[in-house]
Amino acid sequence: MTHAELSDRLAAIVAAAPGRVSVAVRGWDGFRWDHDSARVVPAASTVKVPILLAYLESGMPWDLPLSIPATRVGGCGPLSLLPSVTTLPSGEMLRLMVALSDNDATNAVLGVVGFGGVSRLLTRARARHTEVRRPMMDPAAVAAGRDNVTTAADLAELLAAVRAGALVDGRTAAMALAVMREQQFREGLPAYLPADVHCASKTGTLPGIRHDIAVIERDQRWVVVTALGTDLLDGTTDRGTAVLPSYAALGEAVTTLL
């Protein structure tokens, strides 16, 4: 498939998707495709990727014991169901934060890297419209206007810079992508990928919102896809899962670059 044909295919998928979807694609060969990618939206759990990178880049050890906040915020992940677990090594926290999107693990990691550490990484990545301003599951902060926000373009440039070795050192990039390859929520971008294609991804979910961002690769060829979907509420009913087949089609389409 030529670049022009791929662009047409991506446009058709997005046009047929429910809700409002912003997409950015960045390929190893210079391919770029954007649809509404500068739109600022609630980031949901996609912010866990820059938090992951900030921790790995900090030099703090993989086995550093981290305390889990006594008051569990829940929302996603197993730790809210395990009150007897009060401390875990940071590596396990990072894996829970990404693979199962655990919010309590995220808040524990964020507590040691700090908002400043994440902000400095985002500044270096030139993610100008991405801000991490609150912990996970903090409705009071959201009500006060301090939400975490991002764009499809920011996240695509961030992931492309990581995979290309332009943002963090090789060891940090390799560790981050390895953690992201353990993702357990695979109904979106990874769903239709062939067995020989690897996917390092992170999802984000809020009522009426479904995000999926990924580095998809075969051998040394790679492509980044970020798909941020909003406007998926039907009254009070969350119909966010309706967009997942469109994300799966996006993931399948970009494999032609590999």
What are the extents of the domains in the chain?
A: 3-257
- Sorted by sequence, the CB contacts under 8 Å of residue 224 that are 6+ apart come out as 24, 25, 26, 27, 156, 159, 160, 163, 213, 214, 215, 216
Tokens matching residue 137: 């599951």
pLDDT in the model for residue 70: 87
156 contacts 26 by C-beta, under 8 angstroms: yes
Distance between CA 105 and CA 85 in Å, rounded? 11
Predicted pLDDT of residue 225: 98
Which residues of the chain carry a pLDDT beneath 70? none
pLDDT, position 1: 87
| CATH number attached to the domain at 3-257 | 3.40.710.10
Q: What is the pLDDT of residue 109?
A: 97
pTM beyond 0.85 = yes
pLDDT reported for residue 116: 95
State how far Cα 120 lies from the chain centre: 18
Return the pLDDT at 69.
86
Give residues with Cβ within 8 angstroms of 189, minimum separation 6.
Answer: 199, 201, 212, 213, 214, 216, 225, 227, 247, 248, 250, 251
